[in-house]
Amino acid sequence: MHESEPETYDVVIIGGAISGASTAVLLKRWRPETRILIVERAAEFDRKVGEATVEISGLFLSRVLGLYDHLLRNHLPKHGLRYWFSERPDQSFEEMAEVGTDSLPSMPSFQLDRAVLDEHVLELAVELGAELLRPAKVVDVELARPLNEVVVEVAGEERRFRAKWVVDGSGRRAYLSRKLGLFEANEEHPTSAMWGRWTGVKDMDGKGVLGADVRSPEMPFTRSARRLCTNHFCTYGSWTWAIPLSGGQTSIGLVWDRRLFDTPEGGTPRERYERHVRAAAGLGDLVENAILDPEDFKSYDRLPYRSTRYMGPGWALVGDAAAFIDPYYSPGLDHVSYSAYASARIIEEDLSGKLGAAGLALAIRKHNDEFARSYDRWFRGLYLNKYEIMGDAELCGAAYLMDTAMYFIGKVGRTARDVEEYRHPLLGLDSRGQRFAYKALRFYSGRLVKLARARRKAGTYGRRNGDLRCIAKDFGVGETPFSSPFRTGIKLWLGVEWDVLRERWSPARSRASAGD
């Protein structure tokens, strides 16, 4: 049974998790009279990939959304990134090569229980006046400026609504992108993922790992807590994250490039995943007595995709409904931050009559250009063929230090000073500075991949996976190309360049000497 007169809203949002709910929160705070309807499929949120923030998303959650108190009470602080490498399968955790930072982080970031966060932000949107249908399913959208029509199924009945704007925050379902024929899989980056939650994982900073005698610990102490880092256990073609959660569980996930790596053979995906985790060097020690939650396992066969457009007259895509590249470096919530903020600003200006038809068309064109440019540059400058270097402590460590320093140099500091920087995604502007930054990223990333290939050919890949312990100074908002982490990364990089050069010339010199 259809309603004869559909109710009209300013904005209908598809999906009530962090992307959609944060867009609603921003619009209600900036323009309280905005009528918003949120349509959420799930009766309750489940856990999902995206437990870790980095600095841009940490600032967005704490400063822009004002969630600092909630984050501190219900989630864990994050102490940066840490990497572990092995030279043999039976290598113990204490013997592994380690790359990370020593000091406490200078900017807020968090290890999140996403179900708890999603629920809290949705409740906040409702408290501000957004209306909520839940559980409810959007079954059709007819886009027609000035009023779109949205068909929603609630308790087996279809209801129709009209809205000036439809915002898609439906996550990987990417409802509008698929409906409009804008969805594209990223076939250049064939990655897959499996993950679950474990109980009883050893504390990296406790006596079970460091030993009972603090006078002679099994590993050197660091001012930052190893357990509170996003820990990466790296091999050629794959990495496995270990992220602590506030309830005492640990999220552990495997991500791999299908061209380079595969999971153990035989059994269900869950069984292959558990065998991988328990057999992984170092990580197997930490989960020795741990239990995988049998009800909390998920997998994705294909991770990366994008929409060819993010916005049109009267519609917008935010978060994973628009694009996803890779969980490495935790960029997903950064993308939520940029897309929600930038979309909400344009919608606010349009609803307030500040743009006009020509102004809206220009804003939409710039928005689409910047997000498309950001995806291309971020993917090609940071992720293309990245998994080829992951099993080598020097190469992966160099990339981590330089990549993260570039992130601070290029965006974190400016965003900390001016929240309007969220209108422009990473490397999205067609400016001389951002063109240079992209070229620099692409150059050294490509060079590290070539060095990885040379090392694998020479049989020296991962040659320092048994002795390297590179603990750098933490990154900060005043980061420059001459700061400590960046210099440390360049030193690792140039050290590999020298090693590869020697490896190439030594056999030639040996043959020449033998000929004499």
Residue 72, token pair as written in the block: 């501190």
Asked if residue 82 lies in contact with residue 230, where contact means CB atoms within 8 angstroms, the answer is: yes
What was the pLDDT predicted at 514?
41
Q: How does residue 515 score in pLDDT terms, banded at 50, 70 and 90? A: very low
402 pLDDT above the threshold of 90: yes
Do residues 420 and 322 both lie within one domain? no
Q: How does residue 104 score in pLDDT terms, banded at 50, 70 and 90? A: confident
What average pLDDT does the structure give for the chain?
Answer: 92
Domain closes at, from 362, 383, 404: 383
The CATH number that applies at residue 338 is 3.50.50.60
Q: Cβ neighbours of residue 389 under 8 Å, at least 6 residues apart?
A: 395, 396, 399, 448, 449, 451, 452
How many CA atoms are closer than 13 Å to the CA of 155, on its beta-carbon side?
Answer: 3
435: containing domain: 393-515
Do residues 162 and 308 both lie within one domain? yes
41 pLDDT above the threshold of 90: yes
Q: What is the pLDDT of residues 437-460, one digit of tens each?
A: 999 999 999 999 999 999 999 999
Q: Supply angle C-alpha 67, 68, 74, rounded to 5.
A: 85
Q: What is the pLDDT of residues 59-103, one digit of tens each?
A: 999 999 999 999 999 999 999 999 999 999 889 999 999 999 887
What was the pLDDT predicted at 49?
65
Residue 171, token pair as written in the block: 């996550």
Q: ω into residue 146 within 30 of 0, thus cis?
A: yes
Q: How does residue 57 score in pLDDT terms, banded at 50, 70 and 90? A: very high
Q: Where are the beta strands (DSSP E) in 24-169?
A: 36-39, 76-77, 81-85, 97-101, 110-111, 131-133, 137-142, 148-154, 157-168
Instruction: Tell me whether residue 248 is in a domain.
Output: yes
Q: Supply angle C-alpha 200, 204, 205, rounded to 5.
A: 115
Element of type H or E holding 118:
helix 114-127
**What value does the mean pLDDT take over residues 128-150?**
96
**What value does the mean pLDDT take over residues 125-147?**
96
Q: Determine the residue type at 407.
A: Y
What was the pLDDT predicted at 46?
79
Residue carrying structure tokens 């962090």:
18
Question: What is the Cα–Cα distance from 199 to 190, expressed in whole angstroms?
Answer: 31
What was the pLDDT predicted at 29?
98
Instruction: Tell me whether residue 314 is in a domain.
Output: yes
What was the pLDDT predicted at 412?
86
**How many structural domains comprise the chain?**
3
Cβ-count burial 459-490 (b if 16+ within 10 Å, e if not): eebbbbbeebebbbebbbeebeeebbbbbbbb
Do residues 124 and 260 both lie within one domain? no
Do residues 350 and 312 both lie within one domain? yes
The CATH number that applies at residue 251 is 3.30.9.100
Q: What is the pLDDT of residues 407-427, one digit of tens each?
A: 988 888 889 889 999 999 999
What was the pLDDT predicted at 260?
98
Asked if residue 400 lies in contact with residue 98, where contact means CB atoms within 8 angstroms, the answer is: no
Do residues 59 and 177 both lie within one domain? yes
CA distances (Å), 471 to each of 98, 118, 226, in order?
Answer: 8, 34, 11
261 pLDDT above the threshold of 50: yes
Do residues 461 and 480 both lie within one domain? yes
Query: Helix, strand, coil % (nearest 5) of the chain?
Result: 40, 20, 35
Which three-class secondary structure state does DSSP give residue 305? strand
Instruction: Tell me whether residue 2 is in a domain.
Output: no
What was the pLDDT predicted at 516?
42
Do residues 270 and 329 both lie within one domain? no
**What value does the mean pLDDT take over residues 368-379?**
98
Domain closes at, from 360, 383, 406: 383
285 pLDDT above the threshold of 70: yes
1 or 224: which carries more pLDDT confidence? Answer: 224
Cβ atoms within 10 Å, residue 325: 21
Instruction: Tell me whether residue 74 is in a domain.
Output: no
What are the residues facing 163 on neighbouring strands?
Answer: 9, 148
Instruction: Tell me whether residue 456 is in a domain.
Output: yes
What was the pLDDT predicted at 408?
86
Do residues 200 and 255 both lie within one domain? yes
Do residues 247 and 281 both lie within one domain? yes
Instruction: Tell me whether residue 367 is in a domain.
Output: yes
What was the pLDDT predicted at 103?
79
Do residues 284 and 223 both lie within one domain? yes
- In 220-355, alpha helices (H): 269-279, 283-286, 332-351
Domain closes at, from 321, 350, 383: 383
Question: What is the Cα–Cα distance from 111 to 498, expressed in whole angstroms?
Answer: 38
51 or 176: which carries more pLDDT confidence? Answer: 176
Do residues 296 and 238 both lie within one domain? yes
Do residues 107 and 117 both lie within one domain? no
Element of type H or E holding 388:
none
